[in-house]
């Protein structure tokens, strides 16, 4: 009897021995897993159905109009969409260099005794509830920023970014800074894991050729995990797009579209948070359409990010 | 040549220094937020705050007893729904699903955990609050559970995978069926990791505010049944933070202190439980 045949018989007996309990139990886990998947599908479907009156009424003009008038029942999402994108991109610009530096420090440069506690500290930052960061934003960060804003307004006020009233402090700048604080942990931890996954041999060979540490980092380590690092950034973007409480508390919540960092603004999430309670009818439907847009954007962003991050990190995940 | 060497060295020093500075900024931020909340909050906290119910502005001694209880109820409700679903999903991902199915649903769980919590709140509003015509503790629990499920599923999966294959084989070699070995050997072996995941989930949902804004809604007068609005610590912090009254702002800090201590303690326990293991 050849080996293949022997193995096949063994496999068959294995199948026969599968008890009813096994089938039931594995079926049960399958059903619960389907339920998890169904939640995601239900999220999209239910929001689409609830948003339908608004989708039907406003169509594409929902994105291009900046009127939000519950009395006349005319709703447009442009300021919220603009504010979401602007605050998230600004937050990324601030957070990415800090996160990348921290990740490099924690994975390559820091002495061994500092790596564990250092990582712990960054992870704790991720665990602080958004509402507390917002509270800190209102009472500590915004007052501290005001003098800086006044100075910027006085000296660079001719630039479009620093026009307007620098005294309020509840504006795009505050929102971007607070978002940056909130996404630093996620970008840092994912980047750190990616950098750690770079094979030691690659680094050693570069060092053996006489390269400095920075040369090794910039020409071997970072290029090696480039896609994961981009993934980490996009993951941070996804978090920033959907962040609600802290932003709502410091952004000023006004339907402005302005280049100025000193201008109060709004985001999709903060608009939903601040207006959902009072909305009804078409207004409610429009807010749900905003939620649907946010869901769609964050799904796309997350899918891209996960694919990029998985590409590298799933290889090292050796299993039993 | 010598010049070139120095420039390379200088760049090296500079960039390494910069990354150290970046790490310093990140950690300083945490220290600032954490330190300020803890010190500031502690100075406003007292027994009245823990044991008294909300009192209107002007009356002394108002506290957050009802909100603390409300948060416990909401977190309990969320956990009650999320733990079985999350655990079973984790089992499927680690043990029962075919590799292709498992990786597909692992992806789904990861994507679900990236859905903004406010969107989950709107969803819970649409499926529970709207049909039942009432804001309720129940709808808040549903929203929190949806946020918790992917966290539990993924950490449970990782924990289950850490159970050595030799243990599984030993159990099967004794002649018991696979599901009995999973229940009797694999799950107990992964119990620490599973509990870690549950606690991570609890720490996450305990501080969630956005999904509660239009599900649990808030209620200053205490628990009134699962189908009625209920207060929660984060919600009250939010309302008091926006309040013009000094007294309520101070209560917001005291509430923040409680919440942050809760989250810190849970995170440190999680860290301690999962020491030496890689999640």
Which band of pLDDT confidence, cut at 50, 70 and 90, is reported for residue A97?
very high
What is residue B199's predicted lDDT score, i.e. its pLDDT? 93
Provide the pLDDT confidence category of residue A318 given band limits of 50, 70 and 90: very low
Residues with Cβ < 8 Å from A260, sequence gap 6 or more?
A: A160, A161, A162, A163, A164, A171, A172
Provide the Cα torsion B147, B153, B158, B161; round to 10°: 180
Q: Identify which has the larger pLDDT, A273 or A315.
A: A273
Residues of B within 8 A of A131 (CB-CB) are 207, 209, 234, 237-238, 241, 256, 259
Map tokens 């999402």 to a residue.
Answer: A77
CA distance B23 to B38: 22
Average pLDDT over chain A, rounded to an integer: 88
Q: How far does Cα A216 stand from its chain's mean position? A: 29
Percent of the residues in chain A that have a pLDDT greater than 70, as a whole number: 91
Residues of B in contact with A132 (CB under 8 A): 33, 37, 207, 237, 256, 259-260
Distance from the B220 Cα atom to the nearest Cα atom in chain A, whole angstroms: 17
* Residues in chain B, overall count: 279
Q: Which residue of B has its CA nearest to A240?
A: B116
pLDDT band at A16 (very low <50, low <70, confident <90, very high): very low
Distance, C-alpha B78 to centroid of its chain? 11
Helix axes A142-156, A172-196, angle to 10 degrees: 110
Subunit contact A131:B118, Cβ cutoff 8 A: no
The predicted model gives B51-70 an average pLDDT of 86
Q: Rg of chain A's alpha carbons, rounded to an integer? A: 25
Please compute the mean of the pLDDT values over residues B51-73 and round it to a whole number: 87
Distance separating alpha carbons of residues A81 and A63, to the nearest angstrom: 8
Least Cα separation, residue B37 to chain A (angstroms): 7
Q: For residue B158, what is the nearest residue in chain A, using CA coordinates?
A: A319
CB B57 within 8 A of CB B247: yes
Interval B144-197: pLDDT, tens = 999 999 999 999 999 999 998 888 888 888 888 888 888 889 999 999 999 999
Specify the pLDDT at position A14: 54
Whether residues B15 and A214 touch (CB distance < 8 A) is answered with yes
Angle between helices A226-242 and A281-316 (to 10 degrees): 160
Distance CA B244, CA B254 (A): 16
ipTM score: 0.92
Average pLDDT over residues A227-242: 94
In degrees, to the nearest 5, what angle opens at C-alpha A44 toward C-alphas A38 and A47?
125
State yes or no: pLDDT of B256 exceeds 50: yes
Q: Confidence class of residue A11 from pLDDT cuts 50, 70 and 90?
A: low
> Which is more confident, A318 or B73?
B73
Whether the pLDDT of residue B65 is over 60: the answer is yes
The verdict on a CB contact (< 8 Å) between B23 and A110 is yes
For A1-27, the DSSP string reads --HHHHHHHHHHHHHHH--HHHHHHHH
pLDDT at residue A9 tops 80 = no
Torsion A253-A256-A261-A262 (CA) sign:
negative
- Cβ–Cβ below 8 Å for A26 and B127: no
Q: Tell me the pLDDT band of A104, cut-offs 50, 70 and 90.
A: very high
Residue B131 has pLDDT above 90, yes or no: yes
d(C-alpha A23, C-alpha A8), whole Å: 21
Distance between B145 CA and the closest CA of chain A, angstroms: 11
B36 to A102: CB separation less than 8 angstroms, yes or no: no
Token code pair at residue B162: 């850490």
Task: Concatenate the DSSP letters of all residues of B39-88 into one string.
Answer: HHHHTT--HHHHHPPP--TTSTT---HHHHHHHHHHHHHHHHHHHHHHHH
Average pLDDT over residues A9-14: 52
Q: Could you give the residue ranges of the DSSP H alpha helices within chain A?
A: 3-17, 20-58, 61-64, 78-104, 112-127, 130-136, 142-156, 172-196, 200-208, 213-216, 222-224, 226-242, 245-250, 268-275, 281-316
b/e code B13-49 from CB counts within 10 Å (16+ = b)? eebbeebbebbeebbebbeebbebbbebbeebbeeeb
pLDDT tens per residue across span A114-139: 888 888 888 888 889 999 999 999 99
Record the pTM. 0.91
Topology (CATH) of A2-315: MetI-like fold (1.10.3720)
In angstroms, the CA B124 to CA B113 distance is: 16
Q: How far is A258 from chain B (nearest CA, A)?
A: 25
Question: Helices B99-113 and B137-161 sit at what angle, rounded to 10 degrees?
Answer: 140
By Cβ distance, the residue of B9, B22, B241 closest to A97 is B22
Query: By mean pLDDT, which of A5-19, A30-44, A88-102 is the weakest?
Result: A5-19
B60 CA: distance to closest CA in chain A (Å): 23
Contact A39 B146 (CB under 8 A): yes
* Res B177: pLDDT: 86
Domains and CATH numbers, chain B: 69-232 (1.10.3720.10)
pLDDT of A161 reads: 85
Q: Chain B contacts of A184, Cβ < 8 Å?
A: 26, 29
Estimate to the nearest angstrom the gap between the alpha carbon of B143 and the chain centroid. 13
Please say if the pLDDT value at position A313 is more than 70.
no
Partners of A136 on chain B (C-beta within 8 Å) are 32-33, 36-37
Q: What is the pLDDT of residue B78?
A: 97
Q: Is B219 on the interface with A (CB under 8 A)?
A: no
pLDDT band at B118 (very low <50, low <70, confident <90, very high): very high
Burial status of residue A161 (CB atoms within 10 A of its CB: 0-12, 13-18, 19 or more): middle
């Amino acid at each position: 009897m050849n080996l293949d045949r022997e193995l096949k018989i063994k496999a068959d007996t294995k199948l026969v021995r599968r008890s009813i309990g096994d089938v039931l139990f594995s079926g049960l886990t399958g059903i619960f897993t389907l339920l998890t998947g169904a939640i995601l599908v239900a999220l999209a479907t239910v929001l689409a159905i609830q948003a339908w009156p608004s989708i039907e009424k406003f169509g594409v003009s929902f994105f291009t109009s900046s009127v939000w008038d519950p009395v006349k029942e005319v709703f447009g999402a442009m300021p919220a969409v603009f504010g979401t994108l602007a605050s998230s991109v600004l937050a990324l610009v601030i957070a990415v260099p800090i996160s990348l530096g921290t990740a490099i420090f924690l994975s390559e440069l820091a002495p061994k005794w500092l790596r564990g506690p250092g990582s712990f500290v960054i992870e704790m930052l991720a665990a602080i509830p958004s509402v507390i960061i917002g509270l800190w934003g209102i009472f500590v960060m915004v007052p501290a920023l005001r003098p800086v804003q006044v100075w910027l307004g006085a000296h660079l006020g001719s630039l479009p970014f620093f026009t307007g009233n620098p005294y309020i402090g509840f504006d795009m700048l505050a929102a971007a800074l607070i978002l940056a604080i909130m996404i630093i942990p996620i970008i840092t931890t994912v980047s750190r894991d990616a950098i750690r996954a770079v094979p030691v041999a690659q680094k050693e060979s570069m060092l053996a050729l006489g390269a400095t540490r920075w040369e090794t980092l910039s020409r071997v380590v970072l290029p090696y995990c480039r896609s994961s690092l981009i993934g980490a950034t996009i993951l941070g973007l996804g978090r920033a797009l959907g962040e609600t409480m802290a932003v709502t508390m410091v952004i000023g919540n006004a339907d402005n579209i302005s280049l100025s960092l000193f201008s109060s603004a709004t985001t999709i999430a903060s608009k939903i948070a601040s207006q959902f309670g009072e909305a009804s009818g078409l207004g409610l439907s429009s807010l749900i359409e905003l939620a649907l847009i946010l869901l769609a954007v964050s799904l796309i962003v997350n899918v891209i990010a996960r694919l990029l991050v998985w590409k590298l990190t799933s290889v090292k995940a050796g299993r039993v | 040549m010598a010049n070139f060497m120095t420039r390379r060295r200088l760049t090296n020093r500079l960039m390494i220094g910069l990354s150290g500075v970046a790490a310093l900024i990140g950690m300083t931020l945490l220290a600032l937020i954490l330190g300020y909340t803890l010190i500031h909050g502690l100075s406003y906290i007292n027994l009245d705050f823990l044991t008294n119910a909300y009192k209107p502005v002007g009356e002394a001694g108002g506290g957050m007893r009802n909100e603390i209880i409300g948060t416990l109820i909401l977190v309990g409700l969320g956990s009650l729904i999320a733990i079985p679903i999350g655990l079973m999903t984790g089992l499927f991902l680690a043990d029962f699903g075919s590799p292709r199915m498992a990786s597909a649903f692992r992806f789904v769980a990861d994507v679900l955990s990236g859905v903004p919590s406010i969107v989950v709140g709107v969803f819970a509003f649409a499926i529970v609050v709207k049909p039942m015509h009432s804001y309720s503790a129940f709808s808040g629990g549903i929203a929190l559970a949806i946020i918790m499920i992917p966290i539990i599923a993924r950490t449970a999966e990782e924990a289950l995978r850490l159970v050595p294959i030799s243990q599984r084989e030993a159990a099967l070699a004794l002649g018991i069926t696979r599901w009995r070995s999973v229940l009797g050997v694999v799950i107990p072996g992964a119990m620490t990791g599973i509990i870690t995941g549950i606690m991570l989930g609890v720490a996450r949902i305990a501080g969630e505010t956005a999904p509660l804004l239009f599900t649990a809604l808030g209620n200053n007068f205490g628990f009134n049944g699962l189908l009625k609005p209920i207060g929660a610590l984060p919600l009250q912090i939010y309302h008091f933070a926006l309040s013009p009254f000094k007294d309520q702002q101070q209560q917001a800090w005291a509430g923040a202190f409680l919440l942050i201590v809760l989250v810190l303690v849970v995170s440190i326990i999680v860290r301690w439980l999962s020491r030496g293991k890689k999640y």
